[in-house]
Amino acid sequence: PLVLGIETSCDETGVGIVRGTELLANVIASSMEEHARYGGVVPEVAARAHLEALGPTIAAALAEADIGLADVDAVAVTNGPGLAGALMVGVGAAKALAVALDRPLYAVNHLVGHVGADLLDHEAPLETPTVALLVSGGHTSLLLVRDLVSDVELLGETVDDAAGEAFDKVARLLGLPYPGGPEIDRAAIGGDPTAIRFPRGLTRPKDQASHSFDFSFSGLKTAVARWVEQREAAGEPIPLADVAASFREAVVDVLVAKAVAACTDLGVPRLLLGGGVVANARLRELAEERAAAAGIALRIPPLSLCTDNGAMIAELGAQLIMAGHPPSSMDFGADSTLPVTDIQA
Ligand code: ATP
Ligand code: MG
Ligand code: FE
């Protein structure tokens, strides 16, 4: 089926078009720059930006795929989780489009969409069961995907800041601009990742029973702040490269350790990465290293499919259709806290 997918859960307005597992178009308009001076995504600003960008983005995706609206067999849209006002823009547009075209509408889960991204433009299909680690500015979630369209379980998630959010907050306290991930990466060049031993959240033995697959990054952020303050109070210079490299190592170490432990504990030798933090080269490097050592097959979609995009939403819609699932009924709404087990509305 030829599916048009709409994604507006955060600051990316994404429209993707797929035919089966073939990627025909993936157009993204981001309002990231508008949020930069606030140091993080401002929900009202994001919603307004979606409203302005969605029409042109749909047109650009149709042009990229070289098709007309009449060629679309079905519409898919993210209905959660995410920012309520931002989600509502996409949901409203998708309903209008589906009604006007008289086509079925599939409302799908954003996090499961990230997993579905891996099916696009791959010779080898995504094998299940697989563990998926999704790391972005809004999420840090570890999933067990037994079946993409019918059986996804949440193994753990962050109890405070998301990993990308930690990068953004620590960048800010180091005087670096938003978004913090790429800035910390740049600052870490030449730095020693073992210079400062920052805490690894929720990895102590006493955390293991109740929080084995949960993450916590706010203690790490506080530790970096305290370390910097103490140096400043002592009148000593801040070794920025060492701080950035040591902080990044602490985040990446925990992410990879928990993901690999999930694979090992559950006997699932497959791991998929997704989300904007996958742009971090050290994360990819450490994941490759430890996955290889543990005999885990690692999959990392191209970055354009790891960050928020409409193609992954279109693909999850296509998978639901190919599995024979009926369309969503028109009375669904945006759900900012949609659980990962609700794959389709
Ligand atoms: P959502 O959480 O809804 O998926 P988002 O917009 O918060 O959406 P993305 O756009 O996928 O998330 O990713 C943005 C986040 O990724 C930001 O927090 C940014 O700092 C982080 N990021 C980007 N590049 C890097 C990098 N090289 N290293 C670490 N983090 C990075
Ligand atoms: Mg984003
Ligand atoms: Fe996302």
Q: Which ligand has an atom closest to residue 139 CA?
A: 1
Neighbours of 237 (CB within 10 A): 7
Could you tell me the maximum CA-CA distance found in the chain, to the nearest angstrom?
68
User: What residue's CA is closest to ligand 1, atom 1?
Assistant: 138
Tell the residue nearest (CA) to atom 27 of ligand 1.
280
**Tens-place pLDDT, residues 272-309:** 999 999 999 999 999 999 999 999 999 999 999 999 99
Indicate the annotated binding residues.
Answer: 110, 114, 134-138, 168, 181, 185, 280, 308
> Could you report the per-residue pLDDT of 90-113, keeping only the tens digit for each?
999 999 999 999 999 999 999 999
For residue 219, count other CB atoms closer than 10 A to its CB: 15
Which ligand is closest in space to the CA of residue 304? Answer: 1
Bind-site residues for substrate: 134-138, 168, 181, 185, 280
* Residue whose CA lies nearest to ligand 1 atom number 29: 181
Q: In the predicted model, what is the mean pLDDT of residues 313-329?
A: 98
**Nearest-ligand number for the alpha carbon of 110:** 3
Cα 210 to middle of ligand 3, angstroms: 26
Nearest CA owner, ligand 1 atom 23? 181
CA of 233 to the centre of ligand 2 (A): 36
* Rounded CA separation 138/161 (Å): 8
Residue pointed to by tokens 């702040």: 225
Distance, in Å, from the CA atom of 137 to the CA atom of 82, rounded to the nearest integer, reads 11
Task: Check whether 175 has a pLDDT greater than 80.
Answer: yes
Ligand 1 centroid vs 291 CA: distance in angstroms?
Answer: 22
Residue 296 near residue 266 (C-beta atoms within 8 A): no
pLDDT (tens digit per residue) in 35-68: 988 888 999 999 999 999 999 999 999 999 999 9
What pTM does this model have? 0.96
Minimum-distance ligand to the CA of 162?
Answer: 1
pLDDT band at 268 (very low <50, low <70, confident <90, very high): very high
Residue stretches of the annotated binding site for Fe cation: 110, 114, 308
Q: With helix as H, strand as E and coil as C, how does the chain read?
A: CEEEEEECCCCEEEEEEEECCEEEEEEEEECHHHHHCCCCCCHHHHHHHHHHHHHHHHHHHHHHHCCCHHHCCEEEEEEECCCHHHHHHHHHHHHHHHHHHCCCEEEEEHHHHHHHHHHCCCCCCCCCCEEEEEECCCCEEEEEEEECCCEEEEEEEECCCCHHHHHHHHHHHCCCCCCHHHHHHHHCCCCCCCCCCCCCCCCCHHHHHHHCCCECCHHHHHHHHHHHHHHHHCCCCCCHHHHHHHHHHHHHHHHHHHHHHHHHHHCCCEEEEECHHHHCHHHHHHHHHHHHHHCCEEECCCHHHHCCCHHHHHHHHHHHHHCCCCCCCCCCCCCCCCCCCCCEC
Residues whose beta carbons lie less than 5 angstroms from ion ligand 2? 10-12
From 136, 251, 307, mutation site for ligand 1 pocket: most ligand atoms within 8 A of C-beta: 136
Q: Which residues line ligand 1 (CB under 6 A)?
A: 9-12, 82, 136-139, 164-165, 167-168, 179-182, 185, 275-277, 279-280, 307-308
Structure tokens at 75: 């519409």
ipTM value for the complex: 0.97
